[in-house]
Amino acid sequence: MTVQQKRTFFRHLVQCGFKEIEVAFPAASETEFSFVRSLIEDGEVPDDVWMQVLTPARAELIHRTFESIAGARQVIFMLFHAAAPCFREVVFGGKSKAEIIDLATSHTRIVRALADEYSAKYGTKFRFLYGVEAFSQTEPEFVVELCTKVKEAWGRAGTRFEERIMFNLPSTVEISPPTHYADQIEYFCTHMGNRDEMIVSLHTHNDRGTAVAASELGLMAGADRIEGCLFGNGERCGNVDLITLALNLYTQGVPCGLDFSDMPRTIDVYTQCTGMPVPARHPYAGELVFTAFSGSHQDGIKKGFEAQAARHAQAEREGKRKMWMVPYLPLDPEDVGRVYEAVIRVNAQSGKGGTAFIIRRHLHVDLPRAVQQEFYGVVQRRTDREARELSADEIVRTFKAYYHLDDRASRGTLTLDSFAVKETSSERVPMATFQGQMSDDGKTFSLRGEGSTPLAAFLDAVQSRTGLEYSVIEMHQRASLNPTSGEIVSFILLADPNSRGVTSNGDVHHNAPCWGVGIDADRTRSLIRAALSAINRLHRASTDTLHETLNGSTREEVLRILADQYALSVPIPYAMQDALAEICAAGDVAGISPDQAAAWFVARFYHRAPRNGDALKAALLGFSIARVPSSSGPGEAAKRMRVQATVLLHGREQPVEGTGSDAVNSLLTGLSGLVGFVALRGMEVRPVTEPARGRQNVAFVQVESEKHQVGWGVGLDEDLTTAMLQAALIAAVNCCEH
């Protein structure tokens, strides 16, 4: 790595919480030496971090290493050499054990003298780390004898933490089972005198693939400290992976003080600085770690999340800890900045063509073989026509345009502005209902359809409103290859059964069936977007639009009425668009006017003060807010509120009292005893100025019940808190009336 790459990596290690960082072998090269100097001179090392440097037992290298750390605040100085029989015979030319002890003690005294000199000159604090290279290949009794002599030569060991001498005991080459290594660590810990004056440090390598196991067993055997690398980088098969080791401890309830909550960032820093990839199956970090391909695994995880949501809601009500317990997921992916991706592959085949590789790399989309073949034909025709190669960016733009993916540069003629799907099931027949808003060349209209699946309901809605009929020949779904996106990519092959047909394998598949591609975080929405992509490809061959078959836009007219007559002139939140679309679609089906549809919306979501003769389902009649002491400890009082309110629920006045972190959560806590458990899911507040009443605040609140039902409410008042509480009350009632 360059000095700048090393600095970037060092800063990230500090951010992760490491307090002892081996920064360099300063005597090895000018780059290493310069890097150490830059850290010191530029003030890069925080006050609570010890920088560690290392050197073999050679006097000139020890002096050079001390030169590199001049002016540092606190340093762990590591002296190391081998003592194993093989090294004594081969590397050191047949040195005896006594000569090895003399080598160690004489150079320890050099380190001691220089440490005293630099402490006096620069005020540097030193801790001494002596490493027995190839410890696991060295006679255990000789290691004890050697380290005892080194400790005596150091002469400064004490029981205070910073006084303790450190002994690094590496499996420099992993040549035996991890249990053997643990036995050797235990022997050392139990045979060294004055154990409270030393820190036993582990340094495991992964030649047998058991570095993590060896480290964990070594800790159980009595060790205090572990050296390792991120993602197991290091000589040959690497050192122990500190990420895997730390998160193994974390999942067992053992805190280690390290923060890997942003794993994608850690991966980025590692790959950019080292040029090495993180394997897709690497524990806790690989892109496929939280991906389930097996149907039984997906089912277990789905049920686990559902059960956990109910369990966590109950724990919150009872003031108990929320425990993570989901099949196949040993920890919450969000704890490491990841999300769970359910991957479904139906007749999936992976291709290796150049265009497929570019789409995979740039769009994180794994194309089914049939789509690969189809799109390759598109690229091939263009390259033949233009007599040149296409760049990766051109291929990506061509893919988006060809499949009408949802961005402004490549949208098709037909677009879905908003839609919602509801699924119901009985003992006999499952049923889905689709409601949404579609535009054709800027003209908006409502859709509503029913079918046995959400996709069937969407196609029924299209046919009912436009007369266009399509049949599904084949479809695939799979997760985006970007592990942080959480998106599902769908592929659907549609045909028009009314076109002149052709026979294939005895079945009529009709003329020119087309593939469609859809991408969305929700599996059902992704599937519907793919169907729309295919419909656009089938539809774009015709220059005619659908204007003659459509009745106009209910949604735009309803929005105008809400702004003009009900002071709702601010944009409705995107997440609430589905609720509006449902009202408009229901109005289209019932044949009512936009004025009546707007009145439906207001009656359902809008807070209004009660008038004589009104039959309001809910209204906020009055409230007061007070701060209350918190049981969390000193300084927390300002974070707790108590709301006492009088509300009208279905014609009856009722008192409500609740406490929480803010006014809205306090009211919802109190309402949970009247309407059922509800929790805040989202809130948006927007100012609006009315000619008659001046500046007002519009609050949109969404809440969620224990059964994951959601409800919306809208409040309007010149007082911000009043508007939010109005909206929260209506949302809670709507949620629990589902």
d(CA 382, CA 377) in angstroms, rounded, equals 9
- The answer on 299 and 226 residing in a single domain is no
- The answer on 418 and 466 residing in a single domain is yes
> Distance of CA 266 to CAs 187, 203, 239, 297, Å?
37, 22, 17, 28
Mean pLDDT of the region 199-222: 97
pLDDT of residue 737: 73
pLDDT of residue 553: 52
| pTM confidence score | 0.52
Q: Most distant CA pair in the chain: distance in Å? A: 106
pLDDT of residue 558: 80
Residue 288 lies in a domain: no
- Residues near 366 by beta carbon (within 8 Å), at least 6 away in sequence: 348, 350, 360, 478, 481, 489
pLDDT of residue 509: 39
pLDDT of residue 564: 79
pLDDT of residue 356: 72
> Distance of CA 93 to CAs 81, 107, 150, 601, Å?
14, 19, 22, 91
pLDDT of residue 705: 83
- The answer on 519 and 609 residing in a single domain is no
Please write the tens of the pLDDT for every residue from 83-111. 999 999 999 999 999 999 999 999 999 99
- The answer on 686 and 646 residing in a single domain is yes
Q: Binning pLDDT at 50, 70 and 90, where does residue 590 land?
A: low
User: What amino acid occupies position 546?
Assistant: L
- The answer on 375 and 495 residing in a single domain is no
**How does the average pLDDT of the chain come out, rounded?**
84
- The answer on 167 and 44 residing in a single domain is yes
89 C-beta neighbours (distance < 10 Å), count: 11
Residue 506 lies in a domain: no
**pLDDT of 292 strictly over 80:** no
Domain that holds residue 213: 3-274
**pLDDT of 545 strictly over 50:** no
Residue 191 lies in a domain: yes
- The answer on 430 and 371 residing in a single domain is no
Please write the tens of the pLDDT for every residue from 363-409. 888 888 888 888 877 877 777 676 666 677 778 888 888 888 855 54
Please write the tens of the pLDDT for every residue from 160-209. 999 999 999 999 999 999 999 999 999 999 999 999 999 999 999 999 99
Residue 345 lies in a domain: no
Mean pLDDT of the region 688-693: 66
% of the chain surpassing 70 pLDDT: 84
d(CA 344, CA 489) in angstroms, rounded, equals 10
Q: Looking at residue 438, which CATH number applies to its domain?
A: 3.30.160.270
Q: Total structural domains in the chain? A: 5
Q: Where is pLDDT greater, at 432 or 508?
A: 432
- The answer on 418 and 399 residing in a single domain is no
**pLDDT of 555 strictly over 80:** no
- Residues near 311 by beta carbon (within 8 Å), at least 6 away in sequence: 322, 323, 325
pLDDT of residue 631: 52
> What is the full DSSP assignment across 549-587?
G----HHHHHHHHHHHHHS--SPPPGGGHHHHHHHHHHH
**pLDDT of 220 strictly over 90:** yes
- The answer on 321 and 238 residing in a single domain is no
- The answer on 331 and 365 residing in a single domain is no
**pLDDT of 546 strictly over 50:** no
d(CA 726, CA 619) in angstroms, rounded, equals 7
User: What amino acid occupies position 688?
Assistant: V
pLDDT of residue 468: 80
**CA-based angle 453:457:462, to the nearest 5?**
150
Residue 713 lies in a domain: yes
Mean pLDDT of the region 311-332: 90
Among candidate residues 573, 522, 576, 572, the one with its CA nearest the CA of residue 710:
576
Q: Half-sphere exposure of residue 549, counting CA atoms within 13 Å on the CB side?
A: 15
pLDDT of residue 329: 86
* DSSP single-letter state for residue 239: B
pLDDT of residue 120: 97
Q: Where is pLDDT greater, at 445 or 120?
A: 120
Please write the tens of the pLDDT for every residue from 126-162. 999 999 999 999 999 999 999 999 999 999 999 999 9
Residue 33 lies in a domain: yes
pLDDT of residue 656: 93
